[in-house]
Structure formats: C-alpha cells, structure tokens
C-alpha cells in the first residue's frame, strides 16, 4: 500500500487543538484516501492508540465509512492486525465479496477478533454439509452475521433441523427464513416455536397452514410470548374466524402487532367516517390487514375514496381490501385515467370500482390506457405514477353506480 505524508493538520480534542502528522492510506472498498491519524478528529478525547488503530483498520482494511467505523470501534478493539487479517481472509476464501465483508463487519465487528478455525469454520462446515449454496450463504450471512456468534450444538443445529423438518423445505430455504427473521437460528427458537405449534393444534389449525405460517412469518413463532399468543388466538376465534382457514393466522398476526391503545385509535378513525362497531368487525373479518395500516394511511385513503371520488363509506366497509392499495401508485393514477374515459363516454356507466383498482397492471394498461392513444392516457398515467404527494388534483367523480 502506498503511504504518503501530508502537512500537519489541526484537530480538536476536549476543545483544545492538537496537531498531528497525517499518514494517508487508500480505503480498500471505496478507493477513497483516509488518514490513519485523522481518527483523532472522530474519536473522543479518551481514545487510546488501540482505539485509533482499530478505527483506522476498519476503514482502510474493511471498507467502513468513518461514521460506521466509529460505531464499530466502540464494540471491538485490537492492537495488531494479525487476527482481523486472518478473519477477513477466511470470509474471502469462502466466497464473500469485499462489499459483503464490509457489510458483515459493520454489523458484527466483534467477529474480527474471533479464532476463525475454532469459532467460524465449524459453522461453515455445517452449512456445507447441509448443502447450502455458497452464494446464498454469503448473501445471507453478510446481512445477518449474528448466527456466527451462536453455539453450533446448542442453537444452530437444533434450530436448523427443527425448521427444515417441520416446514419440509430444502436447506437453502432455512437460510432464507433466517434472513427474514434472525431468531430462526438463534437462542431457543425450536422450543418456543414448538409451544406455539401446540397452541395452534389446540385451536384446530391444520398442519399445512402452520407450515405456511412458519415459512411466511417465523417471527410470530419466535418472538411472541406463549400467553399472549394463546390469548390472541382465542380472541380471533371468538371473532368468528375459522381456524381451518388461513385468515385465522392473518388475524392473529395483525392483532399481535397492535397494542390495545393503537387498535382503539384506528377504530376511532373508521368511526369518524361513520363505521359502526359491527362494520369494523365485519371489515376486519373480511380483510384483517385493514387495521394494520397506519392511521395516516387509513385517513388519507378513506378521505380520497369518500371526499374525492364520492364513494359511500359503507362501500369501503364492505370492500376493506381497497384500503390496502397504494394511494400514490395505484388509486390516484387509475382514477385519473378513469375520469378522462368517463368524461369522453368511453366507459360503461355501471363500472366496478373493485375491478378498476384490482386488475393487474398489464390488464389495466391494455383495457383502459393503450387502446385510447388519441387521449394520451399513457402519458397522464405515468405522470400520476411519478407524483408522490397526496394533494393530486382529481375532480370529484359521481359514479352512476348503486353502492
């Protein structure tokens, strides 16, 4: 590595100027030049030479930004580069790119002082033995390196085997699930998940739905207290959800994410638009996610439907899935196109709002946009798609539809 000296620079420590000689090296990741001694400008007055060396190493050898290196240097320290160098070589030899190594070290800098032969190699050998692809392993572990801190025998192997056996999936899918929720391979996920499965069996949930639940959202199995899960499952059952259907789990998952106070605030938003308690419960049963969205999104979407488009609030209560559509990317652009077609008499009077908003993008373009080239609807549609604000001007439309 080429080293050059620059003139003396002044930095401040504890409010007092400190003059240092600057040695410049090249950052391995970005190619940017960074001073080995300018860490004095980032580190506190209590920093030691050990901290300064670590900080400089994280930038020049690992590719971290000064800000990330500062945060990482508070979690790991070393005086010489022998062990960190060996760890970086280890990851590189196992198919990690420089970008992936940088990301991994940013998230788990303490791995730099691990004995790679004792602490890292056995875990990689386990993944090799299970047939996990090298590309998938590098991709997942670079953003979820936490499993490398865990015991292979007490955590990784039993959790890996439980997930694979219960879900009936291939080995790569286990890592995909771990990427989605890191608890899959950490701690006592196996025993926690087994207790949740027991509750679901008591409720009458079929095995194939439990497998789907585990694969789609493993966090429900690994981060929820047993008592809270049991109480929520019972509540959902009392609301009339059928445990044999997947909506049962969808409702459980939504309610687990919301506190009682948050739930009540969202109910109040619906009540402001005239929904009764019965309509709110009915909407939740039809589409559990309708209360998952933020109050801001619910208000903005309801306001557009009711005050801009002229739909009756009760219509939305009967079609609550319409609340799940993106206002900026779906609802506003499509209504803008529909408004032009309606004013030109090119659409039927009895138009299905649900069909208008829920058909695929390809079908919408073919049926209502590209076939009317003279109206320049594609340009209008693309313009509306590019608008990210709610205050888009769409004239109120009066639909000749019986809601």
The per-residue pLDDT for range 204-241, each reduced to its tens digit, is 999 999 999 999 999 999 988 999 999 999 999 999 99
Helix (H) or strand (E) holding 7: strand 4-13
Q: Does 288 fall in a domain?
A: yes
Q: Does 362 fall in a domain?
A: yes
Q: Does 147 fall in a domain?
A: no
Please report the pLDDT score of residue 47 as a whole number: 52
State the pLDDT confidence band at 387, using cuts at 50, 70 and 90: low
Closest to 202 (Cα-Cα) out of 248, 167, 253: 248
What is the pLDDT averaged over residues 187-198? 95
What is the pLDDT averaged over residues 46-59? 79
Please report the pLDDT score of residue 365 as a whole number: 92
Please report the pLDDT score of residue 43 as a whole number: 54
Please report the pLDDT score of residue 2 as a whole number: 40
Q: Does 206 fall in a domain?
A: no
- Total domains present in the chain: 1
DSSP-derived secondary structure letter, 273: T
Q: What is the CATH number for 265?
A: 1.25.70.10
* pLDDT higher at 22 or 157: 157
Residue 36 has pLDDT above 50, yes or no: no
Please report the pLDDT score of residue 254 as a whole number: 96
What is the pLDDT averaged over residues 387-397? 45
5-14, 97-106, 199-208, 340-349: which range is least confident on average?
5-14
Q: Does 321 fall in a domain?
A: yes
Q: State the average pLDDT for the chain.
A: 86
19-28, 34-43, 71-80, 199-208: which range is least confident on average?
19-28
Enumerate long-range contacts of 324-329, CB under 8 Å, 24 or more apart.
324/287, 324/289, 324/290, 324/293, 325/301, 325/357, 325/358, 327/297, 327/300, 327/301, 327/390, 328/385, 328/387, 328/388, 328/389, 328/390, 329/385
Please report the pLDDT score of residue 286 as a whole number: 96
Q: Does 91 fall in a domain?
A: no
Q: Does 117 fall in a domain?
A: no
9-23, 201-215, 272-286: which range is least confident on average?
9-23
Q: pLDDT tens digits for 81-101?
A: 999 999 999 999 999 999 999
Q: Write out the residue range of the structural domain in which residue 343 sits.
A: 260-385
Q: Does 272 fall in a domain?
A: yes
């Amino acid at each position: 590595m080429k080293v050059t000296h620059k003139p003396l620079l002044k930095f401040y420590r504890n409010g007092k100027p400190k003059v240092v000689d600057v040695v410049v090296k090249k950052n391995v990741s970005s190619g940017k030049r960074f001073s080995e001694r300018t860490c004095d400008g980032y580190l506190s007055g209590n920093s030691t030479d050990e901290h300064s060396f670590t900080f400089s190493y994280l930038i020049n050898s690992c590719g971290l930004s000064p800000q990330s290196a500062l945060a990482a240097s508070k979690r790991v320290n070393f005086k010489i580069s022998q062990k960190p160098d060996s760890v970086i070589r280890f990851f590189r030899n196992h198919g990690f790119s420089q970008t992936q190594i940088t990301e991994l070290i940013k998230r788990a800098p303490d791995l730099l002082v691990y004995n790679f032969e004792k602490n890292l190699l056995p875990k990689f050998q386990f993944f090799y033995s299970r047939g996990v692809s090298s590309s998938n392993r590098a991709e997942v572990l670079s953003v979820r390196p936490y499993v490398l801190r865990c015991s292979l025998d007490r955590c990784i192997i039993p959790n890996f085997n439980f997930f694979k056996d219960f879900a009936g999936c291939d080995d790569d899918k286990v890592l995909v699930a771990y990427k989605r929720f890191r608890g899959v391979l950490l701690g006592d996920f196996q025993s926690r998940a087994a207790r949740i499965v027991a509750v679901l069996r008591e409720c009458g949930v079929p095995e194939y739905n439990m497998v789907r639940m585990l694969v789609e959202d493993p966090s429900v199995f690994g981060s929820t207290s047993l008592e809270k899960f049991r109480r929520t499952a019972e509540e959902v059952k009392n609301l009339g959800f059928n445990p044999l259907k997947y909506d049962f789990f969808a409702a459980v998952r939504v309610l687990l994410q919301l506190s009682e106070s948050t739930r009540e605030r969202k109910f109040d938003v619906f009540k402001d638009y005239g929904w009764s308690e019965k309509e709110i419960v009915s909407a939740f049963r039809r589409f559990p996610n309708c209360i998952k969205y933020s109050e801001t999104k619910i208000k903005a979407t309801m306001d557009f439907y009711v005050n801009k488009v002229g739909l009756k609030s009760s219509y939305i209560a009967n079609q609550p899935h319409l609340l799940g559509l993106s206002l900026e990317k779906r609802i506003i652009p499509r209504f803008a196109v529909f408004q032009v077609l309606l004013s030109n008499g090119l659409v039927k009077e009895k138009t299905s709002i649900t069909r208008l908003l829920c058909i695929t993008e390809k079908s919408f373009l073919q049926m209502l946009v590209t076939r009317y080239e003279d109206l320049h609807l594609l340009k209008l549609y693309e313009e509306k798609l590019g608008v990210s604000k709610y205050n888009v001007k769409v004239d109120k439309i009066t639909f000749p539809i019986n809601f």
